[in-house]
Structure 1
Amino acid sequence: MSLDMETNSYGGGFATPPVDAANAFRAAMNAMARPGSVHDITGAEPPAGISAAAGCLLLTLCDPETGVYLAPDVDSPALRSWLAFHTGAPFVAADKADFALGSWQALMPLGQYRTGTSEYPDRSTTLIVELTEFAAANASLTGPGIKDRTSFALPDLGACQGNAAQFPLGVDFFFTSGGQLAALPRSTTILAKD
């Protein structure tokens, strides 16, 4: 390991871990509780190649008991080293992951991830999908946490609808871009935007 990689592995974590982790966790839970709403999440400076929002989520949600799959577009020695140092999370194959990180295209197909079982629907994968931006809405969302309905941009409307149709099974999503995130739990009903 080069000195630069070693330095990058140790840096970029939360400056005040208890406070920053609590704020990031609150942002993540608020996003999941209010599907389609965009929230600021800050405090981490991960290695190049992933957003600050994705880095914050990884630091907040991962630990030595949570397997992480890094899609090929974000997988790098620097990210592996940084994540290992700050969380101790093991790196696993897609079908064993608790969390998976990458762009939509690199994370496909959805069928490779755990969707839970009828006894334990929570034993599924949460995908952290990196976006270049939060684009114009193409979907109308309804369900728990949404008053009436809200609009949101999904990278693949059909795939997300297919995932929601499996409820209570399926995967959950966080969408990240820059210092912001949004979430889409599998319990959300998804319609094409009028």
Structure 2
Amino acid sequence: MTEQPQYSGGFQNAPIQAARAFRAAMTVMARPGEIRELNGSRPPDPLSIAAGTLLLTLCDPETKVHLAGAVNTDAAREWLTFHTGAPLAQAADADFAVGRWAELGSLGTYRIGTAEYPDRSATLIVECDELQQAGAELSGPGIKGTAQLFLPDVPALQANAALYPLGCDFFFTSGDRVAALPRSTRISMET
């Protein structure tokens, strides 16, 4: 009997793989611009291994997820629901949103937190063709001097950072690699 796609592709050794994935996710969030390997899942296409692993690690039945554009497939919805129990949501209500930059839509659609609860904001998992430590210059907490990361829309991300302590946080994924950009990071372009 063949296993149904929504039942396969999860962690084979959940305690160990989830712990490693959580450590990698927190490391890149603490060190903006750093690129790390992140694997352990085999999500349905077109979700990348890194995006799927983030979803398995960070989502649960209390976490609302928005799947945008090409990743919003029956297979992805069923896989996510089976493995995490996370309910699907519209962008404005999401705790996490996943998709390519152009498909995620305006950042103004997502929750940015409130003065009392800045942590009640969305985290966007942006699927990319590749991750490069080149392009935008990053500075701020967790960065010794400066770091570089290619970003899909520098002006939009600068506007998000200007909202700090409010704003969205970002993971960028490609294949089995991940980088992060917390809202506290200052972004400039090389001259």
Q: TM-score range by the shorter chain?
A: over 0.9
User: Which residues of 2 match residues 8-157 of structure 1 at below 5 A?
Assistant: 8-135=5-132, 137-157=134-154
Q: Quote how far apart the aligned CAs of 1:145 are.
A: 0.2
Aligned partner of residue 97 in structure 2, secondary structure: strand
Amino acid at match of 1:180: R
Aligned partner of residue 25 in structure 1, secondary structure: helix
Runs of 4+, deviation exceeding 4 Å: none
- Please name the residue that 2:168 is paired with: 171
Amino acid at match of 1:133: E
Report the CA distance shift for 1:147/1:174 in structure 2 as closer, same or farther (over 3 A). same
Deviation by residue 1:62-117 (Cα, 9 ceiling, x = unmatched): 00000000002210000000000000000000000000000000002000000000
Distance 2:182 2:112 in 1: 12
Deviation by residue 1:11-51 (Cα, 9 ceiling, x = unmatched): 00001000000000000000000001001011100001110
The answer as to whether partners of 2:61 and 2:85 remain within 8 angstroms in 1 is yes
The answer as to whether partners of 1:151 and 1:193 remain within 8 angstroms in 2 is no
- Please name the residue that 1:187 is paired with: 184
The answer as to whether partners of 2:69 and 2:100 remain within 8 angstroms in 1 is no
Distance 2:33 2:156 in 1: 16
What TM-score results when the alignment is normalised by the length of structure 2?
0.97
Distance 1:193 1:14 in 2: 40
Report the CA distance shift for 1:118/1:136 in structure 2 as closer, same or farther (over 3 A). same
- Percent sequence identity over aligned pairs: 58
Distance 1:10 1:108 in 2: 30
Aligned partner of residue 29 in structure 1, secondary structure: helix
Distance 1:90 1:134 in 2: 29
Amino acid at match of 1:147: K
Deviation by residue 1:171-191 (Cα, 9 ceiling, x = unmatched): 000000000000000000001
Q: Quote how far apart the aligned CAs of 1:128 are.
A: 0.1
The answer as to whether partners of 2:91 and 2:109 remain within 8 angstroms in 1 is yes
Q: Which consecutive residues of structure 1, in runs of 5 or more, have no partner in the other structure? A: none
Distance 1:74 1:9 in 2: 14
What is the aligned-residue RMSD (CA, Å)?
Answer: 1.2
What TM-score results when the alignment is normalised by the length of structure 1?
0.96
Q: Quote how far apart the aligned CAs of 1:138 are.
A: 1.8
Q: Quote how far apart the aligned CAs of 1:135 are.
A: 3.9
Amino acid at match of 2:106: P
Distance 1:57 1:136 in 2: 21
Amino acid at match of 2:190: K
Distance 1:43 1:106 in 2: 26
Q: Which consecutive residues of structure 2, in runs of 5 or more, have no partner in the other structure? A: none
Distance 1:45 1:64 in 2: 20
The answer as to whether partners of 2:33 and 2:133 remain within 8 angstroms in 1 is no
